[in-house]
């Protein structure tokens, strides 16, 4: 029965993920989509217990494909990434989401602040018996059209875990 519940959760999450990813495919032109490389690198563990040390150098590589914004302010995206987690094991995820973009200038530099959600499927050793599991997390991004810092907050979801701030460097390769 437990495997059925896990499979059911994965199917539901896959449907939600594909639905969110599909938002960007309607009414968009392909020539304005952007591909970025993600450099995973930093986790800040909050509320750690004395004597417990987590890996905060979460090195890894991924990709983010931002689809043409909807109404200029909603940016749908899909993403795929792998990184070394808090216990120095490799973790992998694939998903998509939607960000609300706020544009502004810092001096003469065009900037943006995005806030929204990411829905994903993840696989990591030591959680959910190493099986794929679904997730939904808040996401923010701050940067220029070429370089940005992505961040998400991961709440305590298991008694052995602590809340985490997770950071990525996003480098846009170009429009397609």
What is the full per-residue pLDDT of the chain (176 aa) written as tens digits? 444 445 555 445 544 444 444 444 443 333 469 999 999 989 999 988 888 888 899 999 999 999 999 998 999 999 999 999 988 999 999 999 999 999 999 999 999 999 999 999 999 887 777 778 899 999 999 999 999 999 999 998 777 778 999 999 999 998 87
Burial track 116-125 (b if 16+ CB lie within 10 A, e otherwise): bbbbbbbbbe
Give tens-digit pLDDT for 48-63: 888 888 889 999 999 9
Give the angle subtended at the CA of 22 by the CAs of 21 and 27, to the nearest 5°.
125
CA distance 157 to 34: 33
Query: Judging by DSSP bridges, how do beta strands 147-154 and 133-143 pair with one another?
Result: antiparallel
Topology annotation, domain 2-175: Porin (2.40.160)
Q: pTM (2 decimals)?
A: 0.79
The neighbour count for residue 96, using CB atoms within 10 Å, is 25
Q: Among residues 38, 95, 98, which one has the least CA distance to residue 73? A: 98
Strands 147-154 and 164-175: antiparallel
């Amino acid at each position: 029965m437990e495997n059925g519940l896990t499979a059911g959760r994965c199917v539901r999450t896959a449907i939600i993920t594909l639905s969110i990813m599909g938002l960007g495919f309607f009414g968009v032109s392909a020539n304005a989509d952007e591909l970025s490389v993600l450099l995973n690198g930093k986790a800040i563990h909050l509320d750690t217990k004395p004597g417990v040390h987590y890996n905060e150098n979460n090195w890894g590589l991924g990709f983010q494909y931002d689809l043409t914004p909807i109404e200029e302010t909603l940016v749908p995206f899909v993403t795929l990434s792998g990184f070394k987690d808090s216990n120095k094991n490799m973790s992998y995820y694939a998903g998509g989401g939607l960000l609300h973009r706020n544009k502004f200038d810092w001096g003469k530099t065009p900037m943006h602040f995005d806030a929204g959600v990411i829905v994903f499927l993840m696989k990591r050793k030591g959680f959910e018996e190493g099986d794929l599991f679904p997730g939904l997390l808040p996401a923010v991004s701050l940067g220029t059209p070429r370089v940005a810092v992505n961040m998400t907050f991961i709440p305590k979801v298991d008694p052995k875990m602590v809340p985490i701030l997770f950071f990525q460097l996003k480098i846009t390769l170009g429009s397609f």
